Amino acid sequence: MQRQGITRSRAAAHAFNPPHLPPLVEIVPGRQTAPDVVVAALWREAVYLVERGVCDLDDVDRAIVAGPGPRWTVLGQGLSYHLGGGAGGLARFLETFDAPVRSRWNDLGAPVYDAASKRNLVAGAEALEASVGGRDVLIRRRNEALQAVLRAPGPFSVRAGAERRGQNESHSATQTALLNEWAYPSCQPTAARRSPAAGMLLAIVSLLPAACRAMR
């Protein structure tokens, strides 16, 4: 597509797991677009800490769940720091914490990520899975928790976004109904209703208008 000169009019999409719940997809970049490396950067530092023996995978996951994770479901890092700057906002935060932020960046590690490292990570993940009762229990609890998060009100929540779009876009009512049907089921879903492929399709359809605007 890029060789044909139509890169800006096409996009590929990658759904966040589990694909039938989060109503957001990652727009996969090509050679001429800048990649989104936020998740990669977080995973890189987690791997580095585990390799160095600072903590194990259990510690990393529990720290994220108990610390920044809940906040990230409400606000992104930019607005979190903006509020952290008090009345001066992000400008004040950047001025006050310039040196500490730079020192943390310089201290970020470069993991080896070799076979031994991967075996250690896999063992940690399997131990975490076993600690909650196995894979089926883990998946069920994850899905229930994600549905609760998606239902919750917030300044940038899924419902808030649908309501804002509904003020100006005629298709918002249908979009909101689809979100209610797929992400907020009132009864036990059928396999067809909650299939990953259908959830992925819904996410892609919901994000296409914004993605197209971004590529113009």
Q: What is the CATH number of the domain that holds 27?
A: 1.10.1040.10
Considering only CA atoms, which of 165, 103, 141 is closest in space to residue 174?
165
The answer to the question of residue 32 being in a domain is yes
The answer to the question of residue 196 being in a domain is yes
Bridge partner residues of 12 (DSSP): 28
The answer to the question of residue 68 being in a domain is yes
Range in 23-37, 60-74, 99-113, 137-151 with the lowest mean pLDDT: 23-37
The answer to the question of residue 35 being in a domain is yes
The answer to the question of residue 150 being in a domain is yes
Q: Counting every residue, how long is the chain? A: 216
Q: Dump pLDDT digits (tens) for 54-103.
A: 999 999 999 998 888 888 888 888 988 899 999 999 999 999 999 998 99
C-alpha 39 chain-centroid distance: 8
| Number of domains the chain contains | 1
Q: What pTM was estimated for this model as a whole?
A: 0.60
The answer to the question of residue 164 being in a domain is yes
Asked if residue 183 lies in contact with residue 23, where contact means CB atoms within 8 angstroms, the answer is yes
The answer to the question of residue 126 being in a domain is yes
CA separation for the pair 89, 124 (Å, rounded): 39
Average pLDDT along the chain? 74
Q: Which phi and psi (to 5°) does residue 171 adopt?
A: -85, 0
CA separation for the pair 93, 95 (Å, rounded): 5
Q: Dump pLDDT digits (tens) for 160-208.
A: 666 666 655 544 454 444 444 444 444 334 443 444 444 444 444 444 4
The answer to the question of residue 111 being in a domain is yes
Domain residues for the domain of 58 are 7-215
